[in-house]
Amino acid sequence: MELPRLVGWAKGHRDLVVIVSLLFLFAAIDLLWNTPKDVVEAWFSVPLLAIAFLLLALLFWPTAKPGPRPAGDTLAHRLLWWATWQGRLVPAFPLFGILLIVGDFAYNRGLSSAPSFGEHDFVVIFLGLGLIAYRFVPRRYERERDFVLLFLAALFMILVVPLLIARIIIGDLTQSVDLYSSVALAPETAGVLSALGIPASVVYETGNTSPGLAFTTAAGLSVRVYITTSCSGIYSTAIFAAAFAAFVLTEQRRLTARVAAFFALGVFFAYVANILRMVSGLFLEVGRSVAKLLSQDAAGPFLLTHICNRNVQRKKVDWLPNVRWTESIDELLASDTDVFVELVGGVEPPGTWIRQALQAGKSVVTANKLLIADQGPELLELARKVGRRLEFGASVAGGIPAIIAIQEGLAGDRLHKIAGILNGTCNYILTQMEAHGASFESALKEAQRLGFAEADPRDDVEGFDARAKLIILTLVGLRLRVRSEQIPCRPVYSVAAIDFAYARELNCTIRQISLATREPGDGVRLFASVQPALVPLSSLIAHVQGSHNLVVATGEFAGPILLSGYGAGGDPTAVAVVSDLHSIARAGGAAPSFPERPLQVPSSVSGEFTVPHYLRLVVRDRPGIVAEVAAILSRHGISIDALLQKPGYPHSALPFIITLESCSSTVLQRALEEITRFDFHVEPPLCLPIYLD
């Protein structure tokens, strides 16, 4: 059938065509919404969308004759007349609008590495709505209608089109690209900061789509801030430019040099204002760092006398005229200072410096979790012998006063359990996967882009960071000394989006749980681990979001005590450091006059827990798989609680889960070693404990 006859038939059966196209459209949307994007069936939405838009295209196919010429003669009239093929495309505006909205929705569900709606998506959606509504606005509101459409189209050209071009150039449509940050924000902001005396440079890291702005605080600390388009205020410049352009087009008959100059100056000053806004914000951040490091309260008990760092000539500022800047640690140790604050990190050389400072008669404050976890008991014993204090409240959970709350507030209780969420990076990644259905890889990239994760996130995602903090809490709260190699860690990257879907079916979520339990017996036994686990939604731990931390200390008399807040970051950590300084000042710098409960070395340290478990398998489907798995579990005395299998997955990679009644994790591991030998596995089974408060 020839195209004109096909178009004529579609227009003659308008109601039928609309109903059929909507059926195909809604079927495609249902597939996109309810089917995970890594499942083959999700791609059936593509032909359904194609059929729906083909039918709608026939319905709105432009006629060969030009449309009615606009009555006015403004720039907007001439532009729209030219851009719509002399009005022929105006009847198809609703189709274009629907195509934009559904296309953006399909991209977020099908391709995007972080399927969530942002500023760019709202621009696309509003432009689509504007196109749909364009034909239905009365002619007496023609000017307002044209202004809105041109404003939204200009925003689309400024914010969305460059992003699409950048993705096409790098050859990855799934990748987030902070184009304006890399080109027009970070380099200019770094230049202005450097001109103001704050050395700054732009750094790019693998895995980060946003550039980092590295600069040095007045206290000599290196800081890195990730510059993103959404945080910079660049959208206000884009809105101004789009609104100005739409106004000129709808009000002017021709573009004069004066109007063009006003437009250029307006965009320039709006852009410069955003750069200065960012510079002033970072400048104030530097001032806050100085204030937080002991210099804001001139009448207070602390006087900052020395700062030791590398390249101090480049980092010195005139805000601290009475501070001695040095690159020599020996000069600082030989000074008459009362307290030595170590904020470098790592086991060595900070361990040597702290010993030298204590032996020189100085009390010490540190935020060094690796050092305290590795050498904490020895350093505390040295501090006791020389009559000085060693405070390390900032080494665990940042701004949460976990250490001092356990040492002082719970000193009258006998704690037997420490648990919680001790790593903000992992918690941010897992909550992103929970909220948006993102993969681990895309959630990690987002965490790196926002500065929540390091370029090398191994210590976080493998559980090593949380383990160091758990060792310190075990030392302080349970009065037990353990070594890092005694506490098993399991990584969080084995958790997938499908696990959150199944967890919801069980009224649970997934978090990285650090747990240490002291049990009496023939000697003291310690059960401890750091691993991802299912957490019932009835537990407060399940509702810790983003980069927050939570510590639960359970005692014999007071029961569970919860402490929650920001676990990392400059401001929270600085609060903990200054709080430790106040603790030293209240004691006059002397060692505690009362004896602490002696440390014990547990007779055994084990990661074995007897709890319910979650077992997820991805298999090439065939009859008898469940029976074979159940036979092995039964042979090891493990009872099945339930079996769940969600529909919509291909038989070539079919996921299903088995929940198990309480069983020993050691016994279950032996059963899993047998189960993994079967040839039906597409990927290794995932086994997670179900955490019970």
Annotated catalytic sites, by residue? Answer: 469
Burial of 264 (0-12, 13-18, 19+ CB in 10 A): exposed
Eight-class DSSP state of 327: S
**Among 329, 262, 338, which residue's Cα sits nearest to residue 305?**
338
Residues across the chain: 693
CA distance 241 to 249: 12
Q: Taking the CB of residue 647, how many other CB atoms lie within 10 A of it?
A: 7
Give the count of alpha carbons within 13 A of 105, CB side only. 20
**Among 659, 650, 660, which residue's Cα sits nearest to residue 619?**
650
Helices 93-110, 14-34: inter-axial angle, 10-degree rounding = 20
Structure tokens at 280: 């002033």
CA distance 128 to 124: 6
Query: Peptide bond preceding 349: is omega within 30 degrees of 0, i.e. cis?
Result: yes
Cα dihedral value 627, 629, 630, 636, nearest 10: 150
CA distance 475 to 600: 9
Helices (H), 619-687: 625-635, 665-675
**Helix, strand and coil percent figures for the chain, each rounded to 5:** 50, 15, 30
* Full DSSP string of 139-175: GGGHHHHHHHHHHHHHHIIIIIHHHHHHHHHHT-TT-
Q: Is the dihedral of CA 586, 591, 594, 600 positive or negative?
A: positive
Q: Which residues pair with 533 in a beta bridge?
A: 511
CA distance 263 to 154: 14
Q: How many helices (DSSP H) and strands (DSSP E) are in the chain?
A: 26, 18
Cα dihedral value 631, 634, 639, 640, nearest 10: 0
CA distance 106 to 46: 9
CA distance 499 to 497: 5
Q: Which residues contact 22 (CB under 8 A, 6 or more apart)?
A: 52
CA distance 531 to 492: 7
> Strands of 200-203's sheet, edge to edge?
200-203, 212-216, 222-226
CA distance 179 to 18: 40
Q: Taking the CB of residue 439, how many other CB atoms lie within 10 A of it?
A: 18
Query: What are the distances in angstroms from CA 12 to CA 18, 58, 135?
Result: 12, 11, 20
CA distance 518 to 528: 9
Q: Which amino acid belongs to residue 532? A: P
Whether the CB-CB separation of 366 and 341 falls below 8 Å is answered with: yes
**Residue 653 φ then ψ, to 5°:** -150, 75
Q: Is the dihedral of CA 454, 458, 463, 467 positive or negative?
A: negative
Whether the CB-CB separation of 684 and 492 falls below 8 Å is answered with: no
Kind plus residue range of the DSSP H or E element containing 689: strand 681-689
